[in-house]
Amino acid sequence: MNMPIRYLSVCSGIEAASVAWEPLGWHPVAFSEIDAFPSAVLAHHYPTVPNWGDMTRFKEWPDAAVDLLVGGTPCQSFSVAGLRKGLDDPRGNLALVYLGLVDRYRPKWVVWENVPGVLSSSK
């Protein structure tokens, strides 16, 4: 019997991933969102799924079995439409926090959404 995929969603917003994956029987372990409006939307639509909040505090989060980590860290510091500060911009460093989450939870799969400029921000 196949077990449903358990995923952790960070930079969740109003949670497009869950809308797409719910019909597949996949289950969110938790969300990570700090903005008030998206957090209220998550609480309304997913009242049983915890919002662990600030992803930079992931070392304080509970242990959990996670098959897949999904998230789209802020892209402004890497975008060709922006100043291209990369990791010199605090928002850009959230990409490294995302990698810390991968190291902590060791999911089988990782889905990271960003802009093409993330691969060329440091030439």
> Helix, strand or coil for residue 30?
strand
**11 tagged catalytic:** no
Point out the catalytic residue in the list 42, 66, 70, 75. 75
The answer to whether residues 108 and 46 touch, using CB atoms and an 8 Å cutoff, is no
Closest by CA position to 69, among listed 31, 43, 41, 42: 31
Asked if 107 and 45 touch (Cβ cutoff 8 Å), the reply is no
Q: How distant is the alpha carbon of residue 79 from its chain centre?
A: 18
Q: Give the residue numbers annotated as catalytic, written as ranges.
A: 75
